[in-house]
Each structure stands twice: as structure tokens, then as C-alpha cells.
């Protein structure tokens, strides 16, 4: 009979008492190269969470904080929908919990739709074709991740489609609330004046500084030229 081995014991634990942290655990067909590519595609949401953290720390923009908050709220909506619909996955051995709607598809749909709305509303980029290129990239990545969940048999096509629709609806609704509620009513500017926001150097240039990237670049060039003259 297996006995439990406490942490720090000189003996290794028995396999019966081991559990896996399956946060990044994706199963794929070993003899299918495309299956491996789809497994990597399923990890894109985790990479995006790392990108959120990097964006927040490096830029200190309120938009990044609000978008991440919306992304996490979108996950709460997904969890609630799964509990209500209670539809099983296409297999009993791939994935855990219910499958309707797909959390991967809903995550990516929120990211893509909110990102596109923000890009076309607030971001100034020289040449409209740059925005079109970003739009296509966001849609393509979202489609790839969504397709990977069907290809790997973690979800049915209907579960993925439901996730895409749900994520898009949440993204549009959240963007409207932020633009016409939080920002237009001055709540965003109020928040960045609080002691906590000042301590963290949070800023919200989205509404008040168009073409921020070009302005920052021009300021950098000006400061660099001034420094060279002093030398």
C-alpha cells in the first residue's frame, strides 16, 4: 500500500500522491508535425499575459492596466458561461472542466477586438496601411489559436465559435464603457492623480496626447542633440 512521504523527506514521494500543474500542459499527436505547431499556438494566451505585464511595467500606461483588467474579467465571464451551459468537451481525456465556450477562443477574441478598437481610436501611426497590417495580424493569430483547439480535440467547432462571439461582445462592451463612461466622465484622469497612481508613475495619454510615439521620438532626438552639443 502506498504511503505518503512528507516534503523534505529523504525518500521520493510515491507516484499515487503526485499531481500535475497543467497550466501549460497541451497534448498533441506525436507523429503529426502540424499537431505540434497547434500545441504551441495554444500557448499564445500565456505569452500575451507576459506581454501585458511587460507593457504595464515598461510604459506605465493606464490603458494597459484597464485592458488587462478587462481580459481577466472576460475570463470570469467565460467561467460563468461554462458553469451555466455545462457542455462537455468532445473527448473525456483532453482538457478539464466544461468546454462551452472555449476559453482560448474567448481570450483571443477579446484581445483582438479590443486591440483593434483601441488602435483605430487612439493610436496615431503614419500611414493607414500599418493599422491594416496590425488588424490582419491580430485576426490571423486569433484564428490560429481558435483552430488549434478544434484540431487538437480540446473543443468542438461550436464551442470555439461561441468563445469568439462571447469574447468579441465583451470586448466591444468594455471598450464602450471605458471610452464613453470612464474616460469621458473624467474618472481615468481622476485616478491617475491619486497618490497610488502617482507613486506608480501611471499615466493616461490616450485621450490627450495624439501621436504619442512620434512625440516621444522627437523629444528623444531633441534631448540627444542637446546632450551632444554640451559635450
- Per-residue cell: 84: 451555466
SS3 content of the chain, % helix, strand, coil (to 5): 65, 0, 35
Query: Out of 11-20, 208-217, 219-228, which region has the weakest mean confidence (pLDDT)?
Result: 11-20
184 inside domain: yes
What's the pLDDT score for residue 66? 93
pLDDT tens-digit profile of 141-173?
A: 999 999 998 888 888 999 999 999 999 999 999
88 inside domain: no
pLDDT tens-digit profile of 9-36?
A: 566 666 666 555 555 677 768 788 888 8
Can you give the pTM of this predicted structure? 0.83
What would the mean pLDDT of 73-86 be, rounded to a whole number?
93
71 inside domain: no
- Per-residue cell: 203: 499615466
Expressed in angstroms, the distance from the first to the final Cα of the chain is 78
What's the pLDDT score for residue 197? 87
Which is nearest to 111 in space by CA: 163, 151, 35? 163
52 inside domain: no
pLDDT of 213 > 70? The answer is no
Q: Across the chain, what does the average pLDDT equal? A: 84
Query: Out of 44-53, 88-97, 132-141, 148-157, which region has the weakest mean confidence (pLDDT)?
Result: 88-97
What's the pLDDT score for residue 222? 79
Check: CB of residue 195 under 8 Å from CB of residue 83: no
81 inside domain: no
Dihedral sign for Cα atoms in the order 167, 135, 47, 32: positive
Identify the domain containing residue 210 by its residue range: 102-141+161-217
pLDDT tens-digit profile of 122-149?
A: 877 666 788 899 999 999 999 999 999 8
Check: CB of residue 81 under 8 Å from CB of residue 101: yes
In 137-174, which positions are buried (b, 16+ CB within 10 angstroms) versus exposed (e)? ebeebbbbbbebbbbbbbbbeebbbbbbebbbbbbeeb
Q: What percent of the chain has pLDDT over 70?
A: 83
Burial class of residue 2, CB neighbours in 10 A (0-12, 13-18, 19+) = exposed
204 inside domain: yes
Structural domain tally of the chain? 1
197 inside domain: yes
Query: Out of 41-45, 76-80, 150-154, 164-168, which region has the weakest mean confidence (pLDDT)?
Result: 150-154
203 inside domain: yes
Amino acid at each position: 500500500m502506498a504511503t505518503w512521504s512528507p516534503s523534505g523527506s529523504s525518500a521520493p514521494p510515491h507516484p499515487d500522491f503526485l499531481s500535475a500543474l497543467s497550466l501549460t500542459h497541451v497534448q498533441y499527436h506525436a507523429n503529426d508535425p502540424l499537431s505540434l505547431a497547434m500545441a504551441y499556438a495554444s500557448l499564445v494566451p500565456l505569452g500575451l499575459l507576459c506581454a501585458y505585464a511587460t507593457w504595464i511595467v515598461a510604459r506605465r500606461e493606464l490603458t494597459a492596466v484597464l485592458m488587462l483588467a478587462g481580459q481577466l474579467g472576460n475570463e470570469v465571464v467565460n467561467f460563468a458561461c461554462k458553469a451555466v451551459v455545462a457542455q462537455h468537451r468532445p473527448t473525456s481525456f483532453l482538457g478539464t472542466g466544461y468546454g462551452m465556450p472555449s476559453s482560448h477562443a474567448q481570450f483571443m477574441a477579446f484581445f483582438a477586438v479590443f486591440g483593434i478598437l483601441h488602435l483605430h481610436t487612439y493610436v496615431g501611426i503614419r500611414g493607414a496601411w500599418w493599422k491594416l497590417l496590425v488588424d490582419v495580424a491580430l485576426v490571423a493569430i486569433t484564428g490560429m489559436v481558435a483552430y488549434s483547439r478544434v484540431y487538437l480535440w480540446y473543443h468542438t467547432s461550436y464551442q470555439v465559435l461561441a468563445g469568439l462571439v462571447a469574447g468579441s461582445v465583451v470586448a466591444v462592451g468594455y471598450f464602450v464603457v471605458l471610452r464613453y463612461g470612464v474616460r469621458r466622465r473624467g474618472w481615468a484622469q481622476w485616478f491617475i492623480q491619486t497618490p497610488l497612481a502617482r507613486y506608480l508613475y501611471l499615466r493616461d495619454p490616450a485621450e490627450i496626447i495624439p501621436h504619442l510615439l512620434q512625440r516621444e521620438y522627437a523629444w528623444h532626438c531633441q534631448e540627444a542633440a542637446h546632450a551632444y552639443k554640451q559635450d
